[in-house]
Amino acid sequence: MRTVLLIIGLVLLFSACNESEDYVYSDDSDYLPMQEGMVWIDSMTQITIDDPSGVYDTLHWVEKTVVDSIQAYDELQRFYCSNYLFDTSASRWTIDHVFWYEKSKNTLLKFEQNKIWLELVFPLYKNTSWNYYTYSTLADTAIRSKVYEVDQLNNILGNVYDSTLVVHHHMDSTLIYKYTDQSYYVRNIGFLYREKISIISDDPDYDYTLPIEERIKTASIHKKRRYYGQPQ
Inter-residue contact 49 to 55 (CB < 8 Å): yes
Query: Residue 115 — φ and ψ, nearest 5°?
Result: -130, 155
pLDDT value, residue 230: 52
Whether 28 and 165 have beta carbons less than 8 Å apart is answered as yes
pLDDT of residue 142 exceeding 90: no
- Residue 229 DSSP one-character state: S
Which of 230 and 224 is assigned the larger pLDDT?
Answer: 224
Q: Give strand pairing partners of 111.
A: 100, 116
For the cut 90, the answer to whether the pLDDT of residue 153 exceeds it is: yes
Residue 195 has pLDDT above 70, yes or no: yes
- pLDDT of 110-124, one tens digit each? 999 999 999 999 999
Give the separation between CA 102 and CA 76, rounded to whole angstroms.
7
pLDDT exceeds cutoff 60 at 232 = no
Q: List the chain domain ranges.
A: 2-228
CB atoms within 10 A of CB 58: 10
pLDDT single digits (tens) 13-66: 334 344 333 333 345 778 989 999 999 999 999 999 999 999 999 999 999 999
Query: What pLDDT, on a 0 to 100 scale, did the predictor assign at position 15?
Result: 40
User: CA end-to-end span of the chain, whole Å?
Assistant: 67
Say what the pLDDT of residue 138 is: 86
